[in-house]
Structure 1
Amino acid sequence: MIVDQSEDILVLTNSQMEVEFVSQSLENTLEISVANSIGKKINEVLENFPSLPLMKPNQKMVIPVTTPKTKRKLLIEFEFKPQYTKEASIKAIFAIGRDVTGRENSLKKFKDTAFKEKELNQLKSRFVSMASHEFRTPLATILSSALLIELLLKKDFNPEIKAKVINHVDKIVTQTNRLTDITSDVLLLEKSIQPGMKISPKKIQIGHFVEELVETINRENLDQRKVKFFMPDTDVTVQTDPSLLVHILRNLILNALKYSEDSMEPEVHLQYRGAYFELRVKDYGMGIPKDEHEQIFGSFYRAKNVGNIKGTGLGLNIVKELTKKLSGEIWLTSKVGLGSEFFVSFPFK
C-alpha cells in the first residue's frame, strides 16, 4: 500500500533490463499501464530510458516523457541502484523516478537569464572598449586641429599657412563625419532590434534600383576603384522598404571596397530564385577566417585579420537585423586571402 501510494516511480528490472515490478505511480503520473509493462524492457516502456545498464550506483539521469493521453511533457529524474551478485555482475536494477519538470524548467529559465545577462555584460564591455578607442582618436584630432587653426590664424595669412589651415579643417570634417557615422550606427542598431520598427514597403524595379545605387557609390569612390554590377536580362518589380535595402547593400558594397584594397574590383550580382531575389556582393580581398564566420554578424565584432582598417564592428550586425526586418536571410562564404561573398535573399513581396 505504501509503495502504491508513493508519488515516486519505483521500478525493478532484471539484468536484461526487463521490468519485473513497477509501482502504480507509473500509471498515475505517466499514464502508462502497469500490467502491460511487466516483462518488457524498460526502454520499451519509456523510450528515452537508457538501453544498457551503464549506470553507476546512485547515478541520476533526467529523461523526457510525453504522456500518451493528455500529451503532457514531463521530465522524470531516475536514480539507479544496481544490485550485484557475488561475482560483481549485475543481477537486478532498482530505479527510483520522480517528476522534476518544475525544477528543470526553473533551472533552464535561470540558465537562460544568466546567459543573456552574461551576453549583455560582454556587449557592454565591447561597447565601452570600442567607444573609448574609436571616440578618443577623432576627438583628440579635432581638438588639436582646432587649436592649431587658432594659432595659425593669429599669424600672417600667407599661402603656406592657408594650406595648413585647409589641411586641418579637412581633418576636422573627416573625424567629425567619422564620429557621426559611429553615432548613427549605434542609434540604427538600437532601432533595428526594436519589434515596433516601422517598415515602409514600396514597389521598385529591383535591377534598376541596385544599378543606380552601385553607380552612386562608384561616383563617390575617391580611389577610382569601381564596383561591377551584373543582373538578368529582365528586370522584376519587388515590394520592399527602399531605405532599409539601401542601407543593407551600401554597407556590404562599401565593406567589399574597404577590405579588398589593391585587389580585383568587387562585384554585385542580382539573381531571381523562385519567389525570392538574391543579391551577392563579392570581393577579392583579405577574406574572413573560417572560425569567425558565425561571430562576424555579432555586435562590435571585427575579424582578427583586419589590421589597422578602421571600423566599429556594428555594420554587419545592423545589416543582419535589417535583413530580418525585410523577411530576408543573410549568409557568407569566405577564404582568407581569396575574398568574401555575402548573400542576401528577400521575397518579392
Structure 2
Amino acid sequence: MNTSSKKSAQSQQTSGLTEEEILQLFIEHSEDILVLTNSEMILEYVSQSLARMLDIRIEDSLGKKINIVLENFPSLPLMKQNQKMVIPLINSVNKRKYLIEFQFKLVLASHGNLQAIFAIGKDVTDRELSLKKFKDTAFKEKELNQLKSRFVSMASHEFRTPLSTILSSSFLIEMLLQKDLGEGTKDKILNHIKKIIAQANRLTDITSDVLLLERSVQADSKVHRKKIYILHFAKELVEAINHENFELRTVKFFGPDSDKAIHTDPSLLTHILRNLILNALKYSEGAIDPEVHLVYRGAYFEISVKDYGMGIPKEDREHIFGSFYRAKNVGNIKGTGLGLNIVKELTKKLNGEIWFTSKLGMGSEFFVSFPVK
C-alpha cells in the first residue's frame, strides 16, 4: 500500500466516513450554491444552500426547467464557459430578493456536444447593493456638478445683460436729471425707468426659478393638500392670465359641464399650469391663441395646454425637461431653461405624470395628469 492510500485509510478509520460521504457533507453544508442541469436546462441537482435561501423543496424542483424554478435564470445561448453573471433570485415566501453571482461550467461530451451545465453561485447581495449605492452617489454628484456648471454658465450670460441695462439706464437718468428738463426729456427718463423695472423683474424671475427648483428636488419638502374644485380653479387661472395679458391674446378654455372636487396642493398646481400656459403664449407669438382643456378620466383628471407655435425640434425633445436646457429654435425669446424642469419635479411631487406631443412649425401640446385624491 502506498503512502496516499495509507493516509486515506487512516482518515476513514478515524471519522468512519467514506470519501463520498465526506464530499456529500461538504456540499450540503457549504454556503456556495450549486446547480446542475442537463443540456435541455432540466434541473438534475440543487444544493441545500439554495433550497434554504429560497424556501423551496429540492424534490419539487428536480425535473423542471431551471427558469421555471429560478425565473430570472438566463437561457442557454447567454452562457459561456467560466462566464460570471449576477442573477436576482426571490424567495417566494417572504419576497426577499437575493443577488447571486453564478459561474457557469459547461460539461461537454467526448464528441463535443453539450452534456450538462454546472453553475456555482455565491450570495453577493450586500456587495451589489453597496456598489449600486456608490454608483448612485457618484452619479448624483456628477449630475450636481454638471448642474452647477450649467447654472454658472447660464447665470453669467443671463445676469450680465439685464445688469448692464440697469446700470446704463441709471447712468443716463443721472445725466438727464443734471440738465434742464426740456421737451421729451421726461419721456426718455420714464422709458429708462421702465427698462430698469423690466430687467429687475427678469432677474427676480430667474432667482425665483432657481430657488423653486432647489425646493422641488428636496425629498423632505412638504406638499400641502386641500380640497379644491378643479373646473373652477382652472377657469379662474386662465382668466387671471388673460387679464394680466391685457386681453392682447386670449387663452381659450374648454372643460366639462360639471365640476369635481380634488385634493391637491393649489400652490404647486398653479405654478405647473401657469408655466405651461405662459410658455404656450411665449412660443406661439403671432399664431392662433393657445387652448387649455380639462378632462376627467376616472380616478384622474387631465389638463392639456395646446399652442400653434414653433414646435420643438426632434433632437431637443428628449432633453426638454432637463435643467437649463432650451430648444435650439427659440431664437431671442428670453428664458432660463428651468421652467419645464421645475414643472416636471412639481408634477412628480403631486403624484402626477407629464408628457407632450409636438410638430415643428405647427405647435406643441403638453399634458399633465393627476389623481383626484
TM-score (norm 1): 0.86
Give the drift of 1:13.
3.9
Identify which of 159, 162, 178 aligns with 2:186. 162
CA distance in 2, matches of 1:201, 1:224: 34
* 1:216 matched residue in structure 2: 240
Contact 1:60 1:78 in 2 (8 A): yes
What secondary structure sits across from 1:142 in the alignment? helix
Runs of 5+ in structure 2 lacking a partner? 1-21
Amino acid at match of 1:60: K
| Cα pair distance change 1:97/1:264, threshold 3 Å | same
* Higher deviation after alignment, 105-114 or 84-93: 84-93
2:17 aligns to what?
none
> Which range moves more in the overlay, 106-115 or 62-71?
62-71
* From 106, 112, 121, the counterpart of 2:136: 112
Partner of 2:19: none
- Per-residue displacement from partner, 1:249-278 (whole Å, max 9, x unpaired)? 222211111000121111122333334443
Unaligned segments of structure 1, at least 5 residues: none
Residue 95 (1) aligns with residue 115 (2): no
Q: What's the counterpart of residue 6 of structure 2?
A: none
How far residue 118 of structure 1 moved from its aligned partner, in angstroms, is 1.9
Post-superposition shift, 1:172? 0.9
Fraction of identical pairs, as percent? 71
The answer to whether structure 1 residue 258 and structure 2 residue 282 are counterparts is yes
Of the structure 1 ranges 334-343 and 190-199, higher mean CA displacement relative to structure 2 is found in 190-199
The answer on 1:199 being equivalent to 2:224 is yes
TM-aligned CA deviation for residue 142 of structure 1: 0.9
What TM-score do you get using the length of structure 2 for normalisation?
0.81
Please identify, of 3-12 and 255-264, the stretch whose mean Cα deviation from structure 2 is larger. 3-12
Q: Secondary structure at the match of 1:174?
A: helix
Query: CA distance change for structure 1 residues 13 and 318 in 2, over 3 Å: closer, same or farther?
Result: closer
Q: Distance in 2 between matches of 1:144 and 1:251?
A: 31
Q: 2:223–2:349: 8 Å Cα contact kept in structure 1? A: no
The one of 293, 305, 330 equivalent to 1:281 is 305
CA gap of 1:152–1:120, structure 2 versus 1, over 3 A, is same
- Is the 1:248–1:319 Cα contact (8 Å) retained in structure 2? yes
Contact 1:285–1:339 (8 Å) recurs in 2: yes
2:343 corresponds to: 319
**Structure 1 match to 2:172:** 148
Q: Which residue of 2 aligns with 1:51?
A: 75
Q: How big is each residue's C-alpha offset from its partner over 1:40-97, in whole Å with a ceiling of 9 and x where there is no partner?
A: 5444443333332542221111222223555432222111122334544333333221
Task: Count how many residue pairs are aligned between Structure 1 and Structure 2.
Answer: 348
Contact 1:285 1:340 in 2 (8 A): yes
Q: Distance in 1 between matches of 2:88 and 2:232?
A: 55
CA, structure 1 residues 335+153, in 2 after alignment: closer, same or farther (shift >3 Å)? same
CA apart distance, 1:311: 0.5
Paired position in structure 2 for 1:127: 151
State how far apart, in whole Å, the 1-side matches of 2:213 and 2:157 are. 19
For the pair shown, the structure with the greater C-alpha radius of gyration is: 2
Among candidates 205, 208, 216, match of residue 184 of structure 1: 208
Given that 1:277 and 1:348 are in contact with CA atoms closer than 8 Å, whether structure 2 keeps it comes out as: yes
> Structure 1 residues 103 and 226 mapped into 2: Cα distance closer, same or farther (>3 Å)?
same
Whether contact under 8 Å (1:26, 1:34) holds in the other structure is no
Larger helix proportion of the pair: 2
